[in-house]
Amino acid sequence: MKLLGNLLCCLSALGLLTGCGGGAKIPKDRPVPTKVSGIVTLDGVPVEGATVTLHPTAKGYGAFGISDSSGKFALGTFGKGDGAVPGDYKISVKKLEVVAGGAQPGQDDPGYDPNPKAVVPKHLLPETYADFTKSGLSTKVGTEAMSDLKIELKK
Protein backbone atom coordinates (compact mmCIF):
# COMPACT_ATOMS: atom_id res chain seq x y z
CA MET A 1 0.00 0.00 0.00
CA LYS A 2 2.91 2.29 0.79
CA LEU A 3 4.35 1.69 -2.70
CA LEU A 4 1.00 2.48 -4.28
CA GLY A 5 0.72 5.61 -2.15
CA ASN A 6 4.20 6.72 -3.19
CA LEU A 7 3.36 6.12 -6.84
CA LEU A 8 0.17 8.17 -6.58
CA CYS A 9 2.06 10.94 -4.81
CA CYS A 10 4.70 11.04 -7.56
CA LEU A 11 2.07 11.08 -10.30
CA SER A 12 0.25 13.92 -8.55
CA ALA A 13 3.47 15.89 -8.26
CA LEU A 14 4.20 15.27 -11.94
CA GLY A 15 0.73 16.57 -12.79
CA LEU A 16 1.38 19.74 -10.82
CA LEU A 17 4.74 20.25 -12.51
CA THR A 18 3.44 19.71 -16.03
CA GLY A 19 0.23 21.66 -15.57
CA CYS A 20 -2.94 21.28 -17.55
CA GLY A 21 -1.78 23.09 -20.68
CA GLY A 22 -3.93 26.13 -19.91
CA GLY A 23 -1.75 28.61 -21.77
CA ALA A 24 1.54 27.70 -20.08
CA LYS A 25 4.50 28.99 -22.06
CA ILE A 26 7.10 26.48 -23.17
CA PRO A 27 10.63 27.58 -22.30
CA LYS A 28 12.63 28.42 -25.44
CA ASP A 29 15.64 26.41 -24.25
CA ARG A 30 13.69 23.18 -23.65
CA PRO A 31 15.11 20.34 -25.77
CA VAL A 32 13.01 18.96 -28.59
CA PRO A 33 12.03 15.30 -28.12
CA THR A 34 12.34 12.74 -30.91
CA LYS A 35 9.34 10.47 -31.47
CA VAL A 36 10.10 7.02 -30.04
CA SER A 37 7.83 3.99 -30.10
CA GLY A 38 8.25 0.24 -30.05
CA ILE A 39 7.08 -3.04 -28.61
CA VAL A 40 7.75 -4.91 -25.37
CA THR A 41 7.58 -8.70 -25.22
CA LEU A 42 8.18 -11.38 -22.60
CA ASP A 43 9.50 -14.62 -24.13
CA GLY A 44 8.17 -13.44 -27.50
CA VAL A 45 4.66 -12.62 -26.23
CA PRO A 46 3.51 -8.95 -26.30
CA VAL A 47 3.08 -7.46 -22.82
CA GLU A 48 0.05 -5.26 -22.14
CA GLY A 49 0.19 -2.62 -19.41
CA ALA A 50 3.97 -2.52 -18.97
CA THR A 51 5.54 0.80 -18.03
CA VAL A 52 8.64 1.40 -20.17
CA THR A 53 10.91 4.11 -18.74
CA LEU A 54 14.05 5.62 -20.26
CA HIS A 55 16.54 6.90 -17.66
CA PRO A 56 19.21 9.27 -19.03
CA THR A 57 22.80 8.12 -18.44
CA ALA A 58 23.85 11.77 -18.09
CA LYS A 59 21.95 14.77 -16.79
CA GLY A 60 18.77 15.09 -18.77
CA TYR A 61 15.12 14.18 -19.06
CA GLY A 62 13.56 10.75 -18.72
CA ALA A 63 10.72 9.44 -20.86
CA PHE A 64 8.06 6.80 -20.35
CA GLY A 65 5.13 5.06 -21.98
CA ILE A 66 2.67 2.25 -21.26
CA SER A 67 2.22 -0.68 -23.62
CA ASP A 68 -1.15 -1.48 -25.16
CA SER A 69 -2.74 -4.90 -25.75
CA SER A 70 -0.34 -5.60 -28.62
CA GLY A 71 2.72 -4.62 -26.53
CA LYS A 72 3.18 -1.36 -28.43
CA PHE A 73 4.15 1.84 -26.64
CA ALA A 74 4.97 5.47 -27.46
CA LEU A 75 7.29 7.38 -25.15
CA GLY A 76 6.69 10.84 -23.76
CA THR A 77 8.93 13.32 -21.98
CA PHE A 78 6.98 16.56 -21.65
CA GLY A 79 3.62 15.23 -22.84
CA LYS A 80 2.01 11.95 -23.79
CA GLY A 81 3.74 10.42 -26.80
CA ASP A 82 5.93 13.44 -27.62
CA GLY A 83 9.08 11.29 -27.60
CA ALA A 84 12.44 11.27 -25.84
CA VAL A 85 15.21 13.86 -25.83
CA PRO A 86 18.23 12.70 -27.88
CA GLY A 87 20.81 10.94 -25.72
CA ASP A 88 21.86 7.65 -24.14
CA TYR A 89 19.46 5.84 -21.83
CA LYS A 90 19.16 2.83 -19.59
CA ILE A 91 15.72 1.21 -19.64
CA SER A 92 13.45 -0.17 -16.95
CA VAL A 93 10.25 -2.11 -17.60
CA LYS A 94 7.72 -2.97 -14.94
CA LYS A 95 4.19 -4.21 -14.60
CA LEU A 96 2.55 -4.49 -11.19
CA GLU A 97 -0.63 -6.34 -10.33
CA VAL A 98 -3.64 -4.13 -9.73
CA VAL A 99 -4.39 -4.21 -6.03
CA ALA A 100 -8.02 -3.99 -5.02
CA GLY A 101 -8.67 -1.70 -2.14
CA GLY A 102 -10.62 1.25 -1.05
CA ALA A 103 -11.23 3.55 1.80
CA GLN A 104 -10.86 2.12 5.28
CA PRO A 105 -14.20 2.10 7.14
CA GLY A 106 -14.58 4.68 9.91
CA GLN A 107 -13.54 3.83 13.47
CA ASP A 108 -17.20 3.38 14.42
CA ASP A 109 -17.66 0.66 11.80
CA PRO A 110 -17.38 -2.97 13.04
CA GLY A 111 -15.21 -3.71 9.97
CA TYR A 112 -12.59 -1.14 11.01
CA ASP A 113 -9.08 -2.58 11.34
CA PRO A 114 -6.80 -0.47 13.57
CA ASN A 115 -3.74 -2.28 12.17
CA PRO A 116 -4.36 -2.82 8.45
CA LYS A 117 -1.83 -4.97 6.64
CA ALA A 118 0.20 -3.24 3.96
CA VAL A 119 -0.56 -4.62 0.53
CA VAL A 120 2.52 -4.71 -1.67
CA PRO A 121 1.76 -5.08 -5.39
CA LYS A 122 3.34 -8.13 -7.02
CA HIS A 123 5.68 -7.74 -9.99
CA LEU A 124 4.17 -9.44 -13.04
CA LEU A 125 7.45 -9.31 -14.98
CA PRO A 126 10.86 -10.47 -13.78
CA GLU A 127 11.81 -7.93 -11.09
CA THR A 128 15.29 -7.38 -12.50
CA TYR A 129 13.79 -5.37 -15.38
CA ALA A 130 12.14 -2.93 -12.95
CA ASP A 131 15.58 -1.58 -11.93
CA PHE A 132 17.37 0.24 -14.76
CA THR A 133 20.73 -0.36 -13.05
CA LYS A 134 20.19 -4.14 -13.27
CA SER A 135 17.97 -4.59 -16.34
CA GLY A 136 20.78 -4.78 -18.89
CA LEU A 137 18.57 -2.77 -21.28
CA SER A 138 19.73 0.41 -22.99
CA THR A 139 19.18 2.53 -26.10
CA LYS A 140 20.40 5.62 -27.86
CA VAL A 141 17.90 8.19 -29.13
CA GLY A 142 18.98 10.39 -32.03
CA THR A 143 17.22 13.19 -33.87
CA GLU A 144 15.34 10.91 -36.29
CA ALA A 145 12.09 9.25 -35.23
CA MET A 146 12.43 5.69 -33.94
CA SER A 147 9.42 3.42 -34.35
CA ASP A 148 11.09 0.06 -33.86
CA LEU A 149 12.49 0.00 -30.31
CA LYS A 150 12.22 -3.71 -29.40
CA ILE A 151 12.38 -4.56 -25.72
CA GLU A 152 12.60 -8.33 -25.47
CA LEU A 153 12.31 -9.60 -21.90
CA LYS A 154 13.06 -13.17 -20.80
CA LYS A 155 11.80 -15.11 -17.76
Q: Give the tens place of pLDDT for each residue, 65-101.
A: 999 999 999 999 999 999 999 999 999 999 998 776 6
Q: Is the predicted pLDDT of residue 5 greater than 50, yes or no?
A: no
Annotate 124-155 with DSSP letters as a single string.
SS-GGGGSTTTS--EEEE-SS-EEEEEEEE--
Task: State residue 133's pLDDT score.
Answer: 96
Confidence of residue 10 (pLDDT cuts 50, 70, 90): very low
Domains of the chain as residue ranges with CATH: 37-98+121-155 (2.60.40)
Task: State residue 109's pLDDT score.
Answer: 83
What residue ranges in the chain does DSSP mark as E strands? 36-42, 45-46, 51-56, 63-66, 72-74, 87-94, 138-141, 146-153
Q: What percent of the chain has pLDDT over 90?
A: 64
